[in-house]
């Protein structure tokens, strides 16, 4: 099932590039899925890692995910999919609320995704400097609010033994990227 999800995501994201660079988009979901796989996540969660941006960023819909991957994968993808008809602020507040109150597998997916995004941002910031922030719908201050809010809420409701090591990696990169004045 995981290989099927990877191939589906590769097809869905064919030709797309990452927002702040010329890197093929599929590299992002592959890294998210790999991170989840490395911490022993369920096959369904790894599949959701591959598929987490398909409905948001391609013509495919939740029904396509459900038909090919079943209700559990669809639930995980749906919990993390933003409603693009809402404003940036509304979408990000929804993600913050979701990461605070969701079941642990949804939290794992969201934080793996946000960590990979910030690792890419950090690399691009080293190349582009402050011009990087102009490529996003929200500049430095809003990105700081959003990422700090995810970090502050990601462990709510989890026992210490349920928190994967990459949550600390996310907290650390939030501090590195946003802990400075801009």
**Looking at the annotation, which residues are catalytic?**
56-57
Question: Exposure of 14 by Cβ count < 10 A (0-12 exposed, 13-18 middle, 19+ buried)?
Answer: exposed
State the CB neighbour count (10 A cutoff) for residue 134.
10
How far is Cα 47 from Cα 2, in angstroms, rounded to an integer?
A: 5
From the centroid of its chain, how far is CA 136?
15
How far is Cα 77 from Cα 71, in angstroms, rounded to an integer?
A: 10
- Tokens encoding 18: 């990452």
Rg (CA), the chain: 16
> In this structure, are residues 53 and 26 in contact, taking their beta carbons and an 8 Å threshold?
no
Q: Tell the residue number behind the tokens 């950090």, with chain if given.
A: 122
State how far the alpha carbon of 131 is from the alpha carbons of 30, 113, 124, 136, in Å.
Answer: 27, 23, 10, 10
């Amino acid at each position: 099932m995981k290989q099927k999800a990877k191939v589906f995501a590769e097809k869905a994201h064919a030709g797309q590039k990452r927002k702040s660079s010329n890197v093929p988009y599929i590299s992002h979901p592959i890294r998210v899925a790999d991170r989840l796989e490395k911490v022993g996540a369920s096959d369904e969660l790894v599949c959701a890692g591959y598929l987490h941006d398909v409905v948001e960023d391609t013509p495919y819909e939740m029904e396509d995910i459900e038909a090919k991957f079943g209700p559990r994968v669809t639930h995980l993808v749906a919990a993390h999919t933003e409603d693009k008809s809402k404003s940036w602020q509304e979408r990000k507040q929804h993600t913050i609320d979701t990461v605070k109150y969701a079941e642990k597998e949804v939290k794992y997916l969201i934080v793996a995704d946000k960590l990979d995004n910030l690792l890419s941002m950090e690399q691009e910031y080293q190349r582009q400097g402050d011009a990087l922030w102009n490529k996003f719908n929200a500049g430095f201050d809003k990105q700081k609010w959003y990422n700090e809010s995810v970090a502050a809420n990601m462990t709510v409701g989890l026992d210490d033994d349920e928190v994967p090591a990459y949550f600390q990696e996310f907290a650390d990169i939030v501090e590195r990227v946003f802990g400075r004045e801009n």
